[in-house]
Structure 1
Amino acid sequence: MSTNTNNNSPARIYVVAAHPHWRESRVNRRLLEAARATPGVDVNDLYDTYPDYAIDVKVEQARLARADLLVLLHPIQWYSMPALQKLWIDDVLDYGWAYGTGGRALEGKDCWLVATTGGPEGSYHPQSYNRYFFDAFLPPYEQTAALCGMRFLPPLLFHGARSAPAAEVTAHVEVFKERLLSYPDWPELEGLDVCVSCPVPEIDRPTAQEES
């Protein structure tokens, strides 16, 4: 299992990174390396840790429970996240643990999306080929966090990753590193709303016997 914790104290930040083709990555690979070099950050490269897609749910829940901040680091693929990261969310954010009856393990934590797009920012526009502003693709992330009682932080996005100048990539990586080091002392968090409450009625989640 690929684990990187840079000190002996419990990690406050858990970076869950997913990229099916790290060798081809211009930006995400640099962000992953920066996270690994940041003291106090627990980093998990999902495609290295779980090449067979068999996620160890208990281990992942323990790592997530120790953290104050969950970072989802990945490229945007078909307007969403890579398949293994979606599977991680499906398996780890379990009913009764992350949400629903008795599911309070993540309440009060923060969730931060750090993502890249291949297309430039201008392509995310009603008059361009992606047809929507990029914010239109964020609700699934925001609501996933909300259902778990987590605060969804303003995402850190990098558009046009395939063609961006090297200097822009370097500057973006430096911003990411500074944010990891300074969390939670980000000025924009002072006015950010607390976690919303989205309780799931038990009637909406039948028992295993009823489901069968």
Structure 2
Amino acid sequence: MTAQTGAPLRKVLVIFAHAAPQRSRVNRRLRDAARGVPGVELVDLYETYPDFYIDVAAEQENLADAAALVLVHPVQWYGMPSLLKEWVDAVLVPGWAYGAGATALRGKQFWLVASTGSPLDAYAPGAAHGHPFEAFLPPYRQIAALCGMEWREPHILHGAHQSSQETLDAHVETFAARLGTLAHA
């Protein structure tokens, strides 16, 4: 609760997963931007759990207190980094995140923020990845749906390695603004 208004604080939980953020042009900046947005808590998975041993109780408590879950990561082999997958498997368990009697995540916002190395036109039939990028989103959509969360349109930067500085700056600014809006909705 805030001291002045008595209204509950709204927290957005950002789960950041990048095994080598020092080499990242995009995700490192997104992580740093998230850290500066009031009402946002960021968990850097590779920094917090270098041994891949996730404190499930702490993560569930943290997520239960949040109004929104934001996943920030590069798309690797058409999906999430391995430690983020481990986090999903360990934290979002039946009976807590979904299934009979599970209401911990119901009604919370779910937002995917990701980057790809390939440009958008590489995600098309006949192109390098053979499918539109949207074809790789069903696992994320299903996580949100199964847990009763509200899907927000993803914020994706394609061709991250080739993006101009202006494009990168605009991507990060838009992310921070949308994150701020989510934190104060």
Q: Same fold (TM over 0.5)?
A: yes
Whether 1:112 aligns to 2:111 is yes
Q: What's the counterpart of residue 17 of structure 2?
A: 18
Q: What's the counterpart of residue 74 of structure 2?
A: 75
Structure 2 residue identity aligned to 1:43: L
Taking structure 1 as the reference length, what is the TM-score of the superposition?
A: 0.81
Q: CA RMSD in A?
A: 1.4
Relative contact order higher in (CA < 8 Å, ≥ 6 apart): 2
State the aligned residue count: 178
Q: What's the counterpart of residue 130 of structure 2?
A: 131
Q: What's the counterpart of residue 165 of structure 2?
A: 166
8 Å contact 1:106–1:150 — kept in the other structure?
Answer: yes
Q: What's the counterpart of residue 31 of structure 1?
A: 30
What's the offset of the Cα at 1:75? 0.2
What's the offset of the Cα at 1:42? 0.5
Structure 2 residue identity aligned to 1:171: A
Q: What's the counterpart of residue 210 of structure 1?
A: none
8 Å contact 1:117–1:158 — kept in the other structure?
Answer: yes
8 Å contact 2:109–2:150 — kept in the other structure?
Answer: yes
**Aligned pairs for 1:35-184 within 5 A:** 35-183=34-182
Question: After TM superposition, where is structure 1 displaced by more than 3 Å over at least 4 residues in a row?
Answer: none
Taking structure 2 as the reference length, what is the TM-score of the superposition?
A: 0.93
| Distance in 1 separating the partners of 2:134 and 2:75 | 13
Cα shift readout 1:92-148 (whole Å, capped 9, x = no counterpart): 001110011221110011100000000001100112110000000001100111101
Structure 2 regions of 5+ residues with no counterpart? 1-7
| Distance in 2 separating the partners of 1:91 and 1:11 | 25
Structure 1 regions of 5+ residues with no counterpart? 1-8, 187-212
Identical positions, percent = 51
| Distance in 2 separating the partners of 1:161 and 1:40 | 27
Cα shift readout 1:15-48 (whole Å, capped 9, x = no counterpart): 0000011111000000000000111100000000
**Secondary structure of 1:48 counterpart:** helix
Structure 2 residue identity aligned to 1:159: H
| Distance in 2 separating the partners of 1:11 and 1:75 | 26
